[in-house]
Amino acid sequence: MPRSPHHDGRRREAEAIARLDRIREPLFRELEALLENPRYYRGNEPHLCCLRERNQMRISPLEARAIALAFRRDPVLRAKLPVVLRRLRAELARIKDTTERQGFDCPLLEGTRCLVHQVAKPIGCTAWHPGRDFTRAGWTAFAERDKLNDELHGPDWQLRVIPLWLERVLAGELRSQPTMSPRNSG
């Protein structure tokens, strides 16, 4: 029996997410090496980059799908989803639906930790090191991420700030919550 296009699309997306995980690996190794230096942060706590004053991080559709998949598969993350959705709604009310950079508090930040750090952290967040330029590994990861998105979505996909892509990939979860409904996300 031939496979449906929907099945093939899910398989291709799953393969792309697995490749995205491999793309992140050198960035995590780089971070581990940096953390061995006690002066690495120099007073810049990493979570401060996740707050509105400093955060304009945009992600790709594939990174957003990886985040949604992590919340759907991991029972610990799934239990935190209602709080994440409340934070997401609060940020969506403060930003415009555009591909431009804009400040926001990341709804994935819980206290001082990224909820998806080990399972679906976006490339830009993983490559970011406070007070430093992106490394060669970071730029390579961006290029590989973009190539993956081109292969999966064609050349017309757009980077968007994290809340805007999360609104799209978590639309069902947003609708199922009893509070306000998500914006129209065409």
Does residue 183 lie in a domain region? no
Say what the pLDDT of residue 32 is. 83
Say what the pLDDT of residue 41 is. 62
Does residue 72 lie in a domain region? yes
Round to whole Å and give the CA distance between 88 and 147.
28
Does residue 129 lie in a domain region? yes
Is the alpha carbon torsion for 180, 183, 184, 186 positive or negative?
negative
Residue labelled with tokens 């009310």:
93
Does residue 186 lie in a domain region? no
Look up the domain containing 38 and give its range.
5-176
State the total domains in the chain: 1
Say what the pLDDT of residue 64 is. 97
- Ranges of residues in the chain whose predicted pLDDT is under 50: 180-186
Does residue 44 lie in a domain region? yes
pLDDT tens digit sequence for 126-151: 888 766 778 899 999 999 999 999 99
Does residue 67 lie in a domain region? yes
Say what the pLDDT of residue 2 is. 60
Specify the pTM: 0.87
Say what the pLDDT of residue 43 is. 62
First to last CA, the chain: 33
Say what the pLDDT of residue 184 is. 41
Shortest CA distance to 124 belongs to which of 141, 112, 148? 141
Say what the pLDDT of residue 133 is. 79
Say what the pLDDT of residue 30 is. 87
Say what the pLDDT of residue 9 is. 81
